Homo-oligomer: A and B are copies of this chain.
Amino acid sequence: MAEKEVLSYPGLDKVAGEEFLQEAFQIMLEEGVRKGMDVSEKVCDWKEPEELEQILDLHLKDTGETKTRLLERCRDIIRYSVKTCHPRFFNQLFSGLDPHALAGRMITEMLNTSQYTYEIAPVFVLMEEVVLKKLRELIGWKEGDGTFCPGGSISNMYAMNVARYHCFPDCKQKGNWALPKLAAFTSYECHYSIQKGAAFLGIGTDNIYLVAVDEKGKMIPEDLEKQISRAKSEKAFPFFVNATCGTTVLGAFDPLHAIADVCARHKIWLHVDAAWGGSALISQRHRHLLDGIERADSVAWNPHKMLMTGLQCSAFLLRDSSGLLQRCHCAKATYLFQNDKFYNMDYDRGDQTIQCGRKIDCFKLWLMWKANGTGGLEERVDRAFAFTRYLTDEIKKRKGFQLVVEPEFINLCFWYVPPGLQGQEGCTDYYARLGKVAPIIKERMMKKGSMMVSYQPHGNRVNFFRQVVTNPAVTREDLDFFLDEIEQLGKDL
């Protein structure tokens, strides 16, 4: 009775809900967008974990809180978060904030649907196909297939799985035990998701043959050939070559034509991990870096990196148009993919993925594309290259800055050699001391909140900075600041 009474009224206050959304949105604009893009504000108000825990009072309780308190919390959450849209944020392979992409994301979140069937996502099923087709065209494919995945790592895993299924369709039912031991090939500079994928797919990281790279970080095709021979002599079956376009640290592009020749000779699936470098395809000027990509069997391309769509937006693209993706992944669940629907069920594409519910990842990219046109996106890509060229030139002029490699993409890798270390290259502890410089400068910039840039050791090279600018809100002034600030923060070292 009392229960039935309750059911007569909605259990949600729509008016209060809309009010909350309005106010939260204004806070978001003020604290996040406006302050986030303002260079006079901090990139991040750094707190140690214990301190931050205290400030935020994250604990979940039995009773709810007032609107005022909740809005304060939103403000705090934004305040203590990193502003990845800040013009001095250079820490990741993504940065910046595109207003159209953000609007697309907000509407996606409001609509809250899943990509699996046409009945539940009519607009987005059609839109995803249009976007994927556009990306395929930029690769140079007239036909093909694909899907958006929750990140480039998972796109790379799709590639491995499809390649395996392509060689040995039995694997789907029988598992790896029905197959010869598989061998995958990738360079030493590849993204670690290839390793994670081999482990997850039951292939094993030992069965990845690492191919040597040249001094720029590009795969050496002759060594690929050698590794294939080695695998064969070890009775492993070469099924998958991963070439990287835009390596994570150095930004190197593997020579695709030469690699494709090797793959063709040995009939091995060629996957191109263009998660990072793929967006250069939009630039008439720079797309030559990926020459030969049209010969790949599959490509991973993350518009959430250079194109600024926002996380997550990663396309897995296939040259095959025979339905390989569907055959490889389908489970034919009748509760979702009924075969007696009243519309053309070819539009229900969800069964070609490994997911069930799948976020709409295409709309943000689509809306941004509509707003800027291919031409506008091309300008941004060219601008990013120009930033890197500008910084490279500056670095060559400044004392204490030293390039790790001449950039061919937009990864600017360099050491800063502070005054106290300059001219001491001969000393035995020089590299040990140089390796300590970047972490200290990083700590100082974080605590000051002035900027963010990443560093890493790499192979036998000690810690160096990797700087990347994709955010079009950045100006030359921010880049000059960047170099000045490193000098400033490191001058006593």
A492 lies within 8 A of chain B by Cβ: no
Q: Which residues in B have their C-beta under 8 angstroms from that of A356?
A: 151-153, 191-193
Q: Which residues in B have their C-beta under 8 angstroms from that of A448?
A: none
11 sample A-B contacts, Cβ–Cβ < 8 Å, listed by A number? A7-B476, A10-B475, A12-B96, A16-B99, A73-B367, A81-B121, A81-B124, A157-B354, A173-B199, A174-B204, A192-B331
Residues 339-358 of chain A: 1 if any B CB is under 8 Å from the residue's CB, otherwise 0?
A: 01111100100000011111
Q: With A81-B113, A105-B109, A201-B202 given, can you name 18 additional A-B contacts, CB distance below 8 Å? A: A4-B390, A6-B383, A10-B475, A12-B473, A18-B29, A28-B110, A49-B122, A84-B120, A150-B359, A151-B355, A153-B355, A164-B202, A174-B207, A175-B203, A191-B356, A199-B331, A249-B335, A338-B457
The chain B residue sitting closest to A74, CB to CB, is B107
The complex places the Cα of A78 from the Cα of B1 at a distance, in Å, of 39
**Given A123-B52, A204-B175; A331-B195 close (CB under 8 Å):** yes
**Given A11-B473, A176-B176; A122-B29 close (CB under 8 Å):** no
A466 lies within 8 A of chain B by Cβ: yes
Q: Which residues in B have their C-beta under 8 angstroms from that of A178?
A: 204
The complex places the Cα of A96 from the Cα of B111 at a distance, in Å, of 10
A482 lies within 8 A of chain B by Cβ: no
Q: Give 8 nearest A-B pairs by CB, closest first.
A: A202-B202, A175-B204, A11-B472, A17-B99, A150-B150, A342-B443, A24-B103, A63-B373
The chain B residue sitting closest to A10, CB to CB, is B473
| Residues 166-223 of A contacting B (Cβ, < 8 Å) | 171-178, 181-182, 191-193, 195-207
Tell me whether A70 and B106 are in contact (CB under 8 A): no
Binding stretch for chain B, among A255-263, A304-312, A397-405: A304-312
**Nearest CB of B to A99, in Å:** 3
**Given A112-B85, A311-B114; A65-B371 close (CB under 8 Å):** yes
The complex places the Cα of A341 from the Cα of B200 at a distance, in Å, of 28
| Residues 80-133 of A contacting B (Cβ, < 8 Å) | 80-85, 87, 91-92, 94, 96-100, 102-103, 105-107, 109-114, 118-127, 130-131
A386 lies within 8 A of chain B by Cβ: yes
**Nearest CB of B to A381, in Å:** 11
The complex places the Cα of A338 from the Cα of B125 at a distance, in Å, of 40
The chain B residue sitting closest to A372, CB to CB, is B64
The complex places the Cα of A354 from the Cα of B367 at a distance, in Å, of 30
A326 lies within 8 A of chain B by Cβ: no
A61 lies within 8 A of chain B by Cβ: yes
The contact of A109 among B60, B102, B154, B344, by CB within 8 Å, is B102
Q: Which residues in B have their C-beta under 8 angstroms from that of A474?
A: 10
Tell me whether B73 and A7 are in contact (CB under 8 A): no
Residues 55-81 of chain A: 1 if any B CB is under 8 Å from the residue's CB, otherwise 0?
A: 010111111110000100110011011
Tell me whether B200 and A24 are in contact (CB under 8 A): no
Tell me whether A84 and B113 are in contact (CB under 8 A): yes
A370 lies within 8 A of chain B by Cβ: yes
The chain B residue sitting closest to A309, CB to CB, is B112
A32 lies within 8 A of chain B by Cβ: yes
Tell me whether A118 and B49 are in contact (CB under 8 A): yes
A454 lies within 8 A of chain B by Cβ: yes
| Residues 399-445 of A contacting B (Cβ, < 8 Å) | 436, 439, 442-443
A380 lies within 8 A of chain B by Cβ: yes
The complex places the Cα of A84 from the Cα of B119 at a distance, in Å, of 11
A248 lies within 8 A of chain B by Cβ: yes
Q: Which residues in B have their C-beta under 8 angstroms from that of A4?
A: 390, 476
The complex places the Cα of A473 from the Cα of B17 at a distance, in Å, of 11
Q: Which residues in B have their C-beta under 8 angstroms from that of A267?
A: none
Tell me whether A120 and B92 are in contact (CB under 8 A): yes
Q: Which residues in B have their C-beta under 8 angstroms from that of A456?
A: 334-336, 338
Q: Which residues in B have their C-beta under 8 angstroms from that of A383?
A: 6-7, 11
Q: Which residues in B have their C-beta under 8 angstroms from that of A481?
A: none
A446 lies within 8 A of chain B by Cβ: yes
Tell me whether B77 and A370 are in contact (CB under 8 A): no
The complex places the Cα of A369 from the Cα of B472 at a distance, in Å, of 37
Q: Which residues in B have their C-beta under 8 angstroms from that of A334?
A: 456-458
Q: Which residues in B have their C-beta under 8 angstroms from that of A304?
A: 357
**Given A37-B14, A84-B112; A59-B130 close (CB under 8 Å):** yes
The complex places the Cα of A383 from the Cα of B201 at a distance, in Å, of 42
Tell me whether A60 and B374 are in contact (CB under 8 A): yes
The contact of A181 among B3, B56, B175, B332, by CB within 8 Å, is B175
Q: Which residues in B have their C-beta under 8 angstroms from that of A477?
A: 8
Q: Which residues in B have their C-beta under 8 angstroms from that of A121?
A: 81-82
Residues 440-480 of chain A: 1 if any B CB is under 8 Å from the residue's CB, otherwise 0?
A: 00110010000010111110000100100001111111010
